[in-house]
């Protein structure tokens, strides 16, 4: 089981198997979880060997192993399945036209994805995207969003989490408190949003409210009318809104701290995330030098994370 000796970070790995250096790093620093990308995945049997080796290292069959399998553009399992038509927009449009057909298709789709993830040894999928799609803004979200309608986004998001949980896969809602108003790609530059708090609470922030996912991921955006200086991931004010106004009471992880939206050095980005109230730091690129910086500046997990992780284990176990 995850215990108090683990640290509050999630990291990627470089290749399709663990290197000796990575094994030593993981044993020494004990990240809360590991996230896999296309670079880590070749065949089903290779992926199974990889996830088994990770779990064996931690002596934990339920050790958190994450993946981004949204369907559409964001699919890490392209070697096994063609998920390209099953965008969030595909299901959102179907929900609008034919709710009965939507429920049938969506249940079957998530059941099949869950089965594949479990077969591969993966137990957390970083879905659903609860950002509102806006056609005249940057399309980094675009068809990854269920709808331009906030109520449809919220409704399908709740259904998505519920079905994945029933199929023993954990979920991560993203990008809290909302990425739909971004005019630039946060992988490359910091988006600045100029809407006021009352507008955001009624719209972009509302889709995350009362969602039952045990994990939420921040978006790196600057909401300048709430916090002029700090992007969401580093903003005490935003994280306070997430906790009190959006009422998300579970684990908050950062979006990838190596994204270019964050201007500071990596150490500062890690420390500022925890100061703002994020629970777990996420670092994805598998660069061992950077991973050491993240690990050394991430605290041991606290009672809150232990409690929520225990709830997660009840779902994925």
pLDDT per position as a tens digit, 193-234: 999 999 999 999 999 998 999 999 999 999 999 999 999 999
pTM higher than 0.75, yes or no?
A: yes
- Whether residue 87 is predicted with pLDDT greater than 90 in this model: the reply is yes
- Whether residue 136 is predicted with pLDDT greater than 90 in this model: the reply is no
Q: What is the pLDDT of residue 137?
A: 87
Length of the chain: 317
- Which structure tokens are listed for 105? 């298709």
- Sequence-distant (6+) residues with CB within 8 A of 308 are 214, 250, 251
What does the pLDDT average to over 142-154?
Answer: 97
- In tens, the pLDDT along 247-283 reads 999 999 999 999 999 999 999 999 999 999 999 999 9
- In tens, the pLDDT along 154-163 reads 999 999 999 9
Report how far apart the first and last C-alpha atoms of the chain are (Å, whole number). 11
């Amino acid at each position: 089981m995850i215990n108090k000796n683990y640290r509050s970070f999630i990291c990627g790995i470089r290749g399709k198997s663990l290197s000796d250096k990575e094994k030593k790093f993981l044993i020494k620093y004990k990240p809360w979880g590991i996230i896999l990308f296309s670079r880590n995945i070749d065949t089903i049997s290779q992926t199974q060997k990889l996830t088994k080796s990770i779990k064996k290292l931690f002596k934990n069959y339920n050790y958190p192993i994450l993946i981004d399998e949204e369907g559409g553009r964001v699919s890490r399992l392209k070697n096994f399945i063609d998920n390209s038509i099953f965008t969030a927009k595909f299901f959102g449009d179907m929900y609008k036209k034919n709710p009965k057909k939507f429920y049938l298709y969506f249940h079957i789709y998530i059941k099949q994805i869950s089965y594949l993830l479990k077969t591969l040894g993966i137990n957390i999928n970083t879905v659903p995207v609860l950002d509102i799609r806006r056609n005249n803004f940057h399309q980094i979200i675009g068809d990854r969003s269920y709808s331009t309608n906030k109520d449809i986004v919220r409704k399908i998001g709740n259904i998505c989490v519920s079905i994945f949980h029933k199929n023993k896969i954990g979920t991560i809602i993203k990008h809290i408190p909302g990425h739909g108003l971004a005019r630039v790609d946060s992988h490359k530059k910091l988006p600045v949003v100029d809407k006021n708090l009352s507008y955001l609470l009624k719209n972009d922030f509302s889709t995350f409210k009362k969602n039952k996912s045990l994990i939420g991921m921040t978006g790196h955006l600057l909401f300048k009318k709430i916090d002029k200086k700090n992007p969401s991931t580093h903003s005490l004010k935003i994280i306070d809104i997430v906790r009190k106004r959006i009422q998300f009471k579970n684990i908050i992880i950062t979006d990838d701290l190596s994204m270019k939206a964050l201007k500071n050095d990596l150490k500062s980005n890690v420390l500022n995330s925890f100061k703002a109230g994020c629970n777990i730091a996420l670092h994805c690129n598998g660069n061992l030098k950077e991973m050491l910086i993240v690990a050394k500046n991430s605290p041991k997990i606290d009672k809150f994370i232990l409690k929520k992780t225990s709830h997660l284990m009840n779902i994925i176990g």
